[in-house]
């Protein structure tokens, strides 16, 4: 095996961040710079890896809070979907909803992710799946070699992403889940933005929000 995946939950919303490492190259892609850039860098270096790329599933604060600091401290490029940019640029004001402080500005993207785009580093090959509905420009990342999909805030173990937020829309989210995630094999592991891991098959059969979907 030359690909390893590690995760941890960090920050105010206990958001999962993922490191996908090519263990031969000792280089990694980080999905969702959720919080605390120094902790993310220390985590990678404990594994012996250098973070070479930073991806974001969407621009909610709990997924991008450390984006600028991590980009600056690692010099790794940061990528997100273009439709997520207005929300990304609004990150400082979001802080006022959680206290009286502005959040730090988010990273300026080095490029934009598109549906079906292949993102690769060494042996790691991710496919971008455009999955809006929870947030504008939401992207899930499918890693076929490991049979893993990083679902962001679309599909959770036993639940789905919130759709009561600005820019979210329930029918669009359900369409994204049905056409882009439930089309994956039952064996595919779902590593989501919150809560524990699950599989496509388990959610297809048991997730109460997906009953009646095929
Ligand atoms: Zn979200
Ligand atoms: Zn979230």
- Cα 194 vs. chain centroid, distance in angstroms? 10
Please tell me the predicted confidence (pLDDT) of residue 214. 59
145 has pLDDT over 70? yes
Q: Kindly identify the ligand whose nearest atom is closest to the C-alpha of 131.
A: 1
39 has pLDDT over 90? yes
* Interatomic CA distance for residues 187 and 183, integer angstroms: 12
pTM above 0.95, yes or no: yes
178 has pLDDT over 70? yes
Cα 25 to middle of ligand 1, angstroms = 32
CATH of the domain at 206: 3.60.15.10
> How many Cβ atoms from other residues are within 10 Å of residue 99's Cβ?
9
- Binning pLDDT at 50, 70 and 90, where does residue 100 land? confident
Higher pLDDT among residues 94 and 213, named by residue = 94
Please name which of 51, 21, 20 lies closest in space to residue 37, comparing C-alpha atoms: 51
**What mean pLDDT is predicted for residues 179-197?**
98
120 has pLDDT over 90? yes
Higher pLDDT among residues 123 and 213, named by residue = 123
**What mean pLDDT is predicted for residues 49-66?**
98
Cα 58 to middle of ligand 2, angstroms = 8
193 has pLDDT over 70? yes
* Interatomic CA distance for residues 153 and 161, integer angstroms: 5
Q: Kindly identify the ligand whose nearest atom is closest to the C-alpha of 161.
A: 1
* Interatomic CA distance for residues 121 and 105, integer angstroms: 27
**What mean pLDDT is predicted for residues 85-101?**
90
Cα 163 to middle of ligand 1, angstroms = 9
Domain count, the chain: 1
Please tell me the predicted confidence (pLDDT) of residue 196. 97
Cα 16 to middle of ligand 2, angstroms = 8
54 has pLDDT over 80? yes
Task: State which residues form the domain around 33.
Answer: 3-210
Q: Which two tokens stand for residue 185?
A: 């094999």
Cα 1 to middle of ligand 1, angstroms = 32
């Amino acid at each position: 095996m030359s690909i390893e995946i590690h995760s941890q939950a960090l920050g105010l919303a206990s958001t999962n961040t993922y490191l996908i490492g090519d263990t031969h190259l000792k280089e990694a892609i980080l999905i969702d710079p959720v919080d605390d850039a120094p902790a993310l860098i220390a985590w990678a270096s404990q594994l012996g890896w250098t973070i070479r790329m930073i991806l974001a599933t969407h621009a909610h604060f709990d997924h991008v809070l450390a984006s600028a600091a991590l980009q600056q401290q690692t010099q790794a490029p940061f990528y997100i979907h273009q439709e997520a940019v207005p929300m990304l640029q609004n990150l400082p004001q979001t802080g006022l909803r959680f206290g009286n402080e502005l959040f730090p500005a988010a990273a300026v993207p080095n490029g934009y992710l598109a549906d079906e785009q292949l993102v690769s580093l060494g042996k790691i090959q991710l496919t971008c799946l455009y999955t809006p509905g929870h947030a504008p420009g939401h992207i899930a990342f499918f890693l076929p070699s490991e049979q893993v999909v990083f679902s962001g805030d679309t599909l959770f173990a036993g639940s789905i992403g919130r759709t009561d937020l600005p820019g979210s829309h329930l029918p669009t989210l359900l369409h994204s889940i049905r056409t882009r995630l439930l089309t994956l094999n039952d064996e595919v592991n779902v590593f989501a933005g919150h809560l524990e891991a699950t599989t496509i098959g388990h959610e297809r059969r048991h997730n109460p929000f997906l009953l009646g979907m095929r």
